[in-house]
Structures are given as structure tokens and as C-alpha cells.
Amino acid sequence: MATIYQVSELAGVSLATVSRVINNNSLVSEKTKLKVLEAMKKLDYRPNTVAQSLASNRSNSVGILVSELHGSFYGSMMSDIELALREFGKHAIITAGHSDEKSEKEGVEFLISRSCDALILHVEAVSDEYLIELKTRKIPFVTVNRYIPEIAANCICLDNEMGGYTATKFLLQQGHRDIAYIAGPLWKTDAKNRYDGHLRALQEFNIKPNKRLIYEGNFQEEGGQKGVQVLLETGIAFSAIACANDEMAAGAMSALREKGRSIPDDVSVIGFDNLVFSRYTYPKLSTINYPISDIGKTAASWVLNNLYIDRKEDIQHLFIPELVVRDSVKNIN
């Protein structure tokens, strides 16, 4: 691989001049500029970004930490962020935190040590304190789907509580009164908030939540299946199930069908997230839309605004989820 030195030699100029045309910042005469450009082409020169990073303490890349690299949720987020960054010549370095505290911290350190210019974090296991402390270091970052009052300006998230509320309220409005709930892992703040929203909706209709109709799942398909099994075993009647995410809703639907319950005639089901596949299910899943795309773009904008581009743009920090009505909830009024 050709180096800047060889280019300078071939072009008959100094290192510094070549560097200048690479970053075309300082004024370089057209004539020498052309000479250098030609030499670069001739040698098929490409700057070594590692050396650039070391010297400039800047990498033109932003680190992204998501819980998992698979799953349409994270996929959309990464994809939208990458696209927005690429538009400005910035790159994404992506790693996974696996919802595990140690792993998440490692991921953050890895990204920092790769001298990312900024971080976009979807972290779940790490403590609020960790993030607050992280802010005292020089590296700029935003958290996605995690709200921490002390660093509110760094948070971009969905109003999960409102989403949980909206979902259950919809079921109530459709006449359901005996509503089961399949929650996410309640140590995760989004799962907890969605559940809180569910409770608030019930309260608004003066319904006492029946603890035996609540199952704490794992946010995965299997959790929905197990949830249905447990719920049915209680022998308590229910006409609808609100699920804390679409994956569990899909699991719940297939389990219900296996048990001979038809959807939505026997049991209504509502999900949360509006993942791509929720359109593929049968019946098509009614759910709460998580504007992943908007949030991803916003996170990218935050970084671009704060770091690279001189523009004033308002950043939306809280997104309100909306109901998506399809075919999995029956009106029994």
C-alpha cells in the first residue's frame, strides 16, 4: 500500500502538502494540487485511516452498541443510522452488548478505544450511574430507548409507558375487561414502563389487575408461548392478551391456536413494536408502532449536529407511539 510519503516523492512536494490536498483545507495552488492528485491516482493511494485517527484523534466513525445484531428491531435501527451517517461520509462501527452488564461495558470500551468520535447506545443492563459517569468523559453519546433524567439531553426514546397504556386502553375500548398481560423482563426499563402503562389503563377503567393473569416473559417468541400455557393453566377466563412486544405476541398466537383457541374470536391479542413480520402473521397483528426508523435517524442527527456539521436542527427526544389496528383484536361491545 502506498503511503503519503511515496506520493509526496512522486509529486515532488512535501508530506505536508500531500496531507493538505487530502483534507483539502489549507490553500494549495491548483498546479501542485493537480500534481499530487495525479500521483495519488498513479500509486492507487488510499489514506491509512488508522494513522489518520491516531494523528488527528478523530476517526470519522461513530460507534453503535445494540443488544443483538439480529432481530428486526435492531436491524432497522442500525440500518437507518448507518444510512444517515454514510450520507455525510461517516461510518458506523457496530458491536453487540447482549443485554449483559459486563458485555455492554466491554462494548462501550471497545468503541471508545477504537476512537469513535461519538457513541449511539442501546444499553439495557448497565446502570444509570455508569451512563452518568460516562458523560463526564469527553466522548459524546446518545442513549436510545433509555431515559435518564440526569442526562436527559443525551436520551432519545419512546414513551413506553404511553404505549403500554394505549394498547390496553384499546382493548378496554373494544369491550374487553378480562385482560391478561405478557410482560417483558421487568428489570428492563422499557418492559417495566410498558407494564406500568398497562396498569394505568386498567386503573382508569376501575379494574383491579389480577396478578395471576400476568406473566413475565423474555421478549422472545418462546416467552409468549409459555405465557399462554401458564395463563390457560390458571383456569381464569380472559378475552384478550396484551403482549409487551410483537415477538411474544406471535408466540402467544401460535400457542393459542394450538390449544384450539381462535384469534380474535376466542381471544384477542395485541403486540408492541410493529415489527416487519407483524404484517405476516395471521391474523395480522394489531400493535403499537415503535418508530424505530425515526428514532434511528434522530440519533444519527444528534451525532451529526453535535460533531460534524454546523447546522441548527431541533432534536426530538421523546417519541409518542401510535396504535396500529389490524385484525387480531375483536370488538366485543
Partner DNA sequence: TTGTATGCGTTATCAA
Partner DNA sequence: TTGATAACGCATACAA
Q: Does 20 bind DNA (CB under 7 A)?
A: yes
Q: In the bound complex, what is the minimum distance in angstroms from residue 75's beta carbon to DNA?
A: 33
Q: Which amino acid is at 54?
A: L
Q: Is 264 exposed, middle or buried (0-12, 13-18, 19+ CB in 10 A)?
A: buried
Angle at alpha carbon of residue 96, lines to 195 and 317, rounded to 5°? 50
SS3 147: coil
Residue 121 has which C-alpha cell?
Answer: 447506545
d(CA 181, CA 13): 71
Nearer to a second copy, 75 or 209 (CB): 75
Our CB check for DNA shows the closer of 26 and 234 to be: 26
Q: Which is nearer to a second copy, 64 or 180 (CB)?
A: 64
Handedness of CA 215, 219, 223, 224 (dihedral sign): positive
- Residue choice 22, 47, 232, 306 for contact with a second copy (CB under 8 A): 47
Non-local (6+) Cβ contacts of 201 within 8 A are 164, 165, 166, 167, 168, 169, 172
Letters for 96-135 (x = contact with a second copy by CB under 8 A, - = none) are x------------xx-xxxx--------------------
Q: Considering CB distances under 5 to 8 angstroms, the limit depending on partner class, which of a second copy, DNA, none binds residue 68?
A: a second copy
Which of 9, 32, 148, 294 binds DNA (CB under 7 A)? It is 32
Q: Of the candidates 24, 44, 55, 89, which one interacts with DNA according to CB under 7 A? A: 55
Binders of a second copy among residues 65 to 84 (CB under 8 A) are: 68-72, 74-76, 78-79, 82
Determine, following the binding rule CB under 7 A, whether residue 1 of this chain makes contact with DNA.
yes
84 and 297 Cβ atoms separated by less than 8 Å: yes
87 - beta bridge partners?
A: none
Q: Which of 18, 36, 94, 270 forms a contact with a second copy (CB under 8 A)?
A: 94
Nearer to a second copy, 88 or 320 (CB): 88
Pairing of strands 118-121, 91-96: unpaired
* Contacts to DNA by CB under 7 A: 1, 3-5, 12-17, 19-20, 22-23, 25-29, 31-33, 45-48, 51-52, 54-57
